[in-house]
Amino acid sequence: MSSTDDGLSEHTLKRLRRLEEDDEDIDDVVNRLIDESTETEDDYVMPEEEYERIEEGRRRSKKKSKERMKQLEDADL
């Protein structure tokens, strides 16, 4: 698999670009990529601290998304 100067594979870059085009929150993208990368390893068990950190990131991301939607709705009024 080829990679870029920043270490990301071409496949990952394409996925990030596609997700950015879908206007998806970057925190959600990163969390999903982390989840997907760990799913392929059968013997990997995510430490509780790492799981908690990821879940906290998801909660913050959802909260930010809700705040942005509210701001956009308020701006439309």
> Position 46: which residue type?
M
CA distance 24 to 18: 9
Summarised one tens digit per residue, pLDDT across range 8-21 is: 778 877 877 776 66
Residue 3's DSSP bridge partners are: 9
Summarised one tens digit per residue, pLDDT across range 44-67 is: 677 899 889 999 999 999 999 999
Summarised one tens digit per residue, pLDDT across range 21-48 is: 666 677 777 787 777 776 655 656 778 9
State residue 1's pLDDT score.
45
State residue 40's pLDDT score.
58
DSSP track, 13-69? HHHHHHHHHTT--HHHHHHHHHHHHHHT-TT----HHHHHHHHHHHHHHHHHHHHHH
